[in-house]
Amino acid sequence: FEACQKLSDRIALLMAKGLGVSDESIGWINDEKKDGNTGTDTDEDETSTSSSSLVAKLRSRHTSYLRTNYYPPYTAGETPSNDEEPPPLGISPHKDAGFLTVLVQDDDCHSLQVAQFENNDESVDPKWITVHPTPGAFTINTGDMAMIWSNGRYRAPLHRVLTATTTRISAPFFYNPGYNSIVAPLPSLAEIPLYYPCSWGYFRAVRFAGDFTDIGLEIQISDFLCENGEEKGTSPHLAKQEAILNEIDFSLPFDIERYRPLLEG
């Protein structure tokens, strides 16, 4: 876990530098804070949307986790299907919600695929490209929060996992902001923002509710797209996010029943 965290810290810094953010504005140099402390929380307002705060907070106050995935081998005929239909997927097409993912793949099973859209038009059917792992190397995947933060420059790819005739094991490390973090396009890019500010805590809570409860909510970063430069959008998630943030305490376990009226309202 700690090794993946340090690698993700480094990648996030390089991503920031790639967008023109300086070491001084990030406030971190050579894996240390300017005050000489390492890896501890600060008193900085975690809801800040300054150009540096997200990267700095990712290095001190994050909600990352490491998971091991086991995909059993698939034998044709195990599930009812039409002969013309493809076998079921190991994981359906999706985008990672967090900032980035560090993935260790099984070298002997090549079933991860990434979608390639012509002219980045996601309204058309994609071409699926198999990701062949390099022995001894990691697969790095950009997440939704990095896409918002970079104002669309770092794209979160749609990907899926095929079933295979052999067992597949993977170990993804999901590098996520703190629940109190507000993710917004970098002001230092001096561009018209493509996204409204997004609360990672709200985004993750709604994704959880949609996956594991009967609320049936769906959330994507497209719900936070700016509409013709308007200061306020019409997506219902913007109003729900504001209502949740006025009530929630992210230091406590998330209670879906407590917030059900706000999520369903």
Report the candidate in 54, 64, 61 with the shortest Cα–Cα distance to residue 8: 64
Which of 13-27, 117-131, 201-215 has the lowest average pLDDT? 13-27
Report the candidate in 70, 89, 73 with the shortest Cα–Cα distance to residue 81: 89
H-helix or E-strand containing 206? helix 200-212
153: tokens are: 């420059």
Model pLDDT, residue 38? 33
Report the candidate in 70, 46, 68 with the shortest Cα–Cα distance to residue 59: 46
Query: Contact 169/67 with Cβ under 8 angstroms?
Result: no
Reported as a single tens digit per residue, the pLDDT across 86-132 is 678 889 999 999 999 999 988 888 889 999 999 888 989 999 999 99
Is a pLDDT exceeding 50 seen at residue 43? no
Quick one: average pLDDT of 28-54? 42
Rounded-to-5 percentages of helix, strand, coil across the chain? 30, 20, 50
Q: How far apart are CA 55 and CA 64, in angstroms?
A: 14
Is a pLDDT exceeding 80 seen at residue 17? yes
How many other C-beta atoms lie within 10 A of the C-beta of residue 217? 17
Model pLDDT, residue 36? 33
Task: Tell me the pLDDT band of 236, cut-offs 50, 70 and 90.
Answer: very high
Is a pLDDT exceeding 80 seen at residue 31? no
Partner residues linked to 127 by β-bridges: 116
Strand stretches in the chain, DSSP E: 28-29, 32-33, 65-66, 69-71, 89-94, 100-104, 112-116, 127-130, 139-142, 159-162, 168-175, 182-183, 198-199
Q: How far apart are CA 258 and CA 260, in angstroms?
A: 6
Report the candidate in 119, 124, 189, 115 with the shortest Cα–Cα distance to residue 152: 189
Torsion, CA 100, CA 104, CA 108, CA 112, rounded to 10: -20
Model pLDDT, residue 58? 83
97: tokens are: 């919600």
Burial classification of residue 215, based on how many CB atoms lie within 10 Å of its CB (0-12 exposed, 13-18 middle, 19 or more buried): middle
